[in-house]
Amino acid sequence: MKRERFLRYLYISLTGALAIVLSISFFFILFRFKEVLGGIKNVTNILMPFIYGAIIAYLLTPVCNSIEKALQPFLARYLKSEKQARKAASGLAILGSLGAAVLFVYFLLAMVLPEIFQSIRSVVVLLPDNVEKWTQWIEGFVSDNQVVLNYVEQFSDEIQQYLQDFMKNVLLPNMQMIVSGVSSGVISILVILKNLIIGIIAAVYMMASRKKFAAQAKKAIYGIFKVPFANAIIEEIHFADKVFGGFIIGKMLDSLIIGCLCFVIISFMKMPYAMLVSVIVGVTNVVPFFGPYFGAIPSALLILMVSPRQCIYFLIFILILQQFDGNILGPKILGDSTGLSGFWVLFSILLFGGLMGFVGMVIGVPAFAVIYDLVKRGVEHSLRKRNLSLRTKDYVELRRVQGSEPARYVYEADLKAVEEAQEAEALKARAKKAEKSGEEPEKKPGSFLDKWKKKR
């Protein structure tokens, strides 16, 4: 008895202490938000190689698993034990998946980079001629109106004067700062390369130990939480893996196909900067909803500098291509991988894009899909405990729920019927009362037209 009381008071004391600690932590984070964000950023920078490694391992794990399943039965015939065959298949699968990824990236860059550099060089070389051509076109367009022509010439002179002042007063005095900025940019690129190399090494270790890590995580979850709650956590992790893997890998494949289609068609249409425009369209297509607009605007401006007519053709083509992607290709590849409506897709892109930039716009939809599923599971669990319906359509016209076991759903039509029945009963009661007293029974109020006729 004493032991039970002691444990009871101990649990109460620990709960109170934990509540105090959480309250202090909350107010500390609230009033020291910038310092906390700075600390998180420092930790993130330190762990960046492992973050790169985790991303690489996650993307390559499906390929690695497929290669391992294909090699293991074949190696089991020639090796002494199944354990040796499993280890050999795992090692070869890791090497094969990494080698395939490196070769894919190498060939992609070897095909794309020279064309991109050539397109950028053409843009830089032809820019003065294009500006001169547009200036002449504008002058010819407004040559009949001397007032407009004077404004255009004045505006052109002001731009030239502004550029000269910018060169003298801003660019040259701050050249040292610009050079230091360029050098810091080079250092940042070197840091990214260093993190990427370490990340590849970390990815190898992660893929080699992926089954052990998964087993240890499950062991920890079942050791910390009760079995029903642990089962729910494991199920939600599987759902998150399905959503993230299906959406991100599917979106990358979809964007690659769109980029290739764009390159083939605009090359056939003999539009300028075909490779550069196709890369812009393909990369920005990774972002749901807003991606096509992000890619179409700069691409259209590039083509506009060469040919306004081809720019119009390009915009029409992009509109058709995005309709094909949104209605045919995208659903075939992605399916209903997130289960979100168009409103929540837009909401998640804006929310995570504002918090995390371009990366947030890419991962925002699957991340919000997981949050949405967690909330949905919690709501459905509460509804089951109350013996209420889980179907959303049952709540469309619902006004209230009466009782609990079993619950009775009262809808708009039911309330109207009840009100009409109550009104009819009240009229009958008043009619009986009037009949007994000898008065004229009260009639149901008529329409506005009946009252107007009565007054006439």
Give the count of beta carbons closer than 10 Å to the beta carbon of residue 271.
21
Q: What is the pLDDT of residue 147?
A: 66
Asked whether the beta carbons of 298 and 280 are under 8 A apart, the reply is yes
pLDDT at 456 over 60: no
Q: What is the pLDDT of residue 216?
A: 92
Domain ranges of the chain: 1-46, 398-455
Percentage, residues of the chain above pLDDT 70: 74
Q: What is the pLDDT of residue 418?
A: 63
Write out pLDDT tens, residues 90-103. 888 889 999 888 89
Task: Over range 119-147, report the average pLDDT.
Answer: 68
pTM of the prediction?
0.70
Instruction: Quickly list DSSP for 155-202.
Output: HHHHHHHHHHHHIIIIITTTHHHHHHHHHHHHHHHHHHHHHHHHHHHH
Highest mean pLDDT among 6-20, 60-74, 129-143: 60-74
Look up tokens 């008895």; give the residue. Answer: 1
Q: What is the pLDDT of residue 448?
A: 44
Give the count of beta carbons closer than 10 Å to the beta carbon of residue 414.
15
Across the chain, what does the average pLDDT equal? 79
Write out pLDDT tens, residues 265-319. 988 888 888 888 888 888 888 887 777 788 888 888 888 877 778 888 899 999 8
Cα 58 from Cα 120, distance rounded (Å): 34
Q: Residue 119: which of 307, 303, 316, 284 has the closest Cα?
A: 303
Instruction: Quickly list DSSP for 39-87.
Output: HHHHHHHHTHHHHHHHHHHHHHHHHHHHHHHHHHHHHHTTSSSHHHHHH
DSSP state of 329: I
Q: What is the pLDDT of residue 340?
A: 78
Q: CA torsion angle for 219, 220, 224, 228 (degrees, to 10)?
A: -50
